[in-house]
Amino acid sequence: MSPYITPVRREAFALLEEELKSTRIDTPGELVYLFCRVADLYVSQRLREFRIMNDVVGALENAKLEFHRKVVANYEKEKELENGTVWGQWGLGS
């Protein structure tokens, strides 16, 4: 499962994205709330069955992994260059 959907499908979400950009998300609780509301909407548009719920769990997990791969890992690389590594015993030191 990949977040890299076609430009045509992205366009379908453009108004929603603009609305979200204009609304400040202040707390982790608000962020989780939004994730849950989107998941709830997804489930409500389909039959209530295990496969659909599993789709939501998978999508959330994949979003987490993608965020880590593209955002957290780059941040950590920057910080490691600034401050050095903690992995000296593994031959990964700089």
Q: Could you read off the pLDDT of 76-88 as tens digits, one per residue?
A: 999 999 999 888 8
pTM of the model: 0.82
Question: Measured between alpha carbons, how far is 47 from 52 in angstroms, rounded to an integer?
Answer: 8
* Burial bucket for residue 83 (CB in 10 Å: 0-12, 13-18, 19+): exposed
The mean pLDDT of 87-92, rounded to a whole number, is: 78
Residue ranges per domain, the chain? 7-81
Question: Measured between alpha carbons, how far is 73 from 85 in angstroms, rounded to an integer?
Answer: 14
Question: Measured between alpha carbons, how far is 66 from 43 in angstroms, rounded to an integer?
Answer: 22
State pLDDT tens for residues 50-64.
999 999 999 999 999
